[in-house]
Structure 1
């Protein structure tokens, strides 16, 4: 059965809309997200537009700071320092990738951890590791919401995460661990990957290879969450999972597009409200 991320994300955004309406009615300050876009990467521009639209939909304030790709690292750092001090800004997001001459890690570490709505700051990563309240990366958080929506209890289940990125693989593994799952993180160097995946009650595919996972990797009745955003041989959008080959075996599966992707932006909106609430007290 398909897990309709588009529908679920809309439901979450509608709930947010109501909360922000209540803030307006109470005469309170409205949460604000600032996105920094450096250069003219086409995919990044699309993502930023989608974030602007989502803010508009839920009634949140948003601002996009567009900067030239030739800017110095120091200039970008000064922009972030200014936003850190701005009491009217709740969320700061630097759209990745950044130009090669800028150190991503240095820039992300500079963002005030209370405004780090991407959940990438070391302080928020540490909180996630320790099971404390913090801002959690949006895509992993979105996947947990999808599992909640199908009433899936992870307790005692075997979860296999294929992909060990700091943005998806590692944080989603920790979130599953906090929900009492037994978690394996697999990757390009894993021996017997098929056998490892075949054990999974929940398979999370996050390797960025189009249609890599076919029915041979999937246990009968498994839940399959596909994080991939790839292009197939016909240049058509697809995921890391061969959807048509797997859909009859899996009990639940996320399509691409329309699965995990829409959840990421909905979670970004929720993180911005959470950052606002924590700062406003």
Structure 2
């Protein structure tokens, strides 16, 4: 089998589960790891025959993809804001919506520089590490309740040569000795009722601890983080959230009731209410 035939096999086997275009992209990602080829190189090598070792590696990836396992877990890596991150089932896979949150923060600190940042619920560390790489003079801390997630985050900090102060604690009970210029969080926000809308590979392979809240108290973590920020933000400090698209109005009202000002609700590229910033 040559490379082009292999690509056609991937598309045929995966289109029913992922769609044709995504199946093509999955093959490109597999080729990037197995053969270290980009899309252009795939065209150049289209008629090249695969050796047994390569065939085995590609087939292993294909089998796992057919099970619905996320490609980032199969390859054990994901790209975020131009940086490579290790991912396991202990952390959420970094997503494009969170890149938009990073871009918003970066635009904000251009005119309002910050010297200290806390990322709450850091998971893979993608937010904290990306901010540190782009704001080298800023002290960045990252908190998570999961020891397994922090292990991955520390490995990613080493991988990306980013000096991060990691904190193992639960934000619902954490008392910080420090104050910060900026606090950011992408906390659990998906209600139990929303599970039926989610792709099976998310439910099966990503950590529920980082995803779900009860229907009765969907803003649990936002309220707790807001209360924490009231105490631990510097005067005129900023708070950024990634939010549940269905709870933008409720989140704004909660922050307003606690005394935050300059509250901005922002849509993502898909037109969904996805991010909030506010000032102390």
- TM-score, length-scaled by structure 1: 0.42
Greater length-normalized contact order (CA 8 Å, ≥ 6 residues apart): 1
